[in-house]
Chain A
């Protein structure tokens, strides 16, 4: 699977709440950020958690968000950031 996004792309995390194991923190769902690194392709933890070890590898990225977008009452500095590892199927272009 080739990586769909490149560094600098604006993306949004899907606001989805599927049952079962996943590694997308609740706090970033629906939030928009920017791709800062492509980490490579990895087995999907949503497969691995249920014993599927030969499923497809999926691209994984580090996505950077503004803390002020993440937390409405953020008390730090306006330039503070949080960076999260996210698998491609959790991301959509920010403009969509």
Chain B
């Protein structure tokens, strides 16, 4: 028998004629983590003791899942078209949001305005605090250790990896959501968008713009 036997990798030429993929684990194939078990136990206890019902729990999850960055975009577009609203949004975002019939919940969200001199970036180095009531569920990268570590210590490199290159004349302010506040970036209105409607403007404002890793696309590119 030669040294070449099965199980030895031959690279791209070693084609499996039946084209087997490695099996994808089903949900139950990976062990539950400590926190998953704790979460299930707490949920079961709350329901068993009739503190909340299963339906109320499901509705709350449904509600959190229904929030998308569109809520934040609407506030930004209104701020771009109404300076008075912009001032009110920066002063008290919860009160300002009620003008658009929006309830942004009990946790204060501070709106950080980008200017030609200052660019804001949001991170939570301790965990994954995020303005969920305006942007919904955070992207996985926002929760990663590498974003959390690097956004704070080398924000310009991180921005550059998102395709956002800022001049060294611009000051970068990183906001670490370590405690009871949440943050949203109010990006600058792009040039050439003067004739756009508030609704169309909202379409330029993406989640990443409101985290601060990107800038709104130009009106002509949309």
Contact = CB atoms under 8 A, between A and B. Distances in A.
B222 to A, nearest CB: 30
Contact of B168 (A24, A45, A60, A77): A77
Please name the 9 residue pairs, one residue from A and one from B, whose CB atoms are nearest each other, closest first.
A85-B179, A77-B168, A79-B171, A80-B172, A82-B174, A76-B156, A85-B178, A84-B176, A42-B180
B42 interface: no
Interface string A74-94: 111101111111110000000
Contacts of A64: 173
Interface in A37-74: 39-40, 42, 45, 60, 62, 64, 67, 70-71, 74
A19 to B, nearest CB: 16
A25 interface: yes
Interface residues of A, number: 27
A76 B160 CA distance: 12
Contacts, number: 76
30 contacts: A23-B126, A23-B178, A25-B125, A25-B176, A27-B125, A39-B108, A39-B179, A40-B108, A42-B180, A45-B179, A70-B153, A71-B153, A71-B154, A74-B153, A75-B157, A76-B154, A76-B156, A76-B172, A77-B171, A80-B171, A80-B172, A82-B152, A82-B173, A84-B176, A85-B176, A85-B177, A85-B178, A85-B180, A86-B179, A87-B179
Contacts of B125: 25, 27
A84 B174 CA distance: 9
Nearest to B168: A77
Interface residues of B, number: 23
Contacts of B217: none
Contacts of B178: 23-25, 84-86
Given A27-B125, A82-B175, 13 more contacts: A45-B179, A74-B153, A74-B154, A76-B155, A77-B170, A80-B156, A80-B171, A80-B174, A81-B173, A82-B152, A82-B173, A82-B174, A83-B175
A45 B170 CA distance: 35
A85 B108 CA distance: 13
Interface string B140-154: 000000000000111
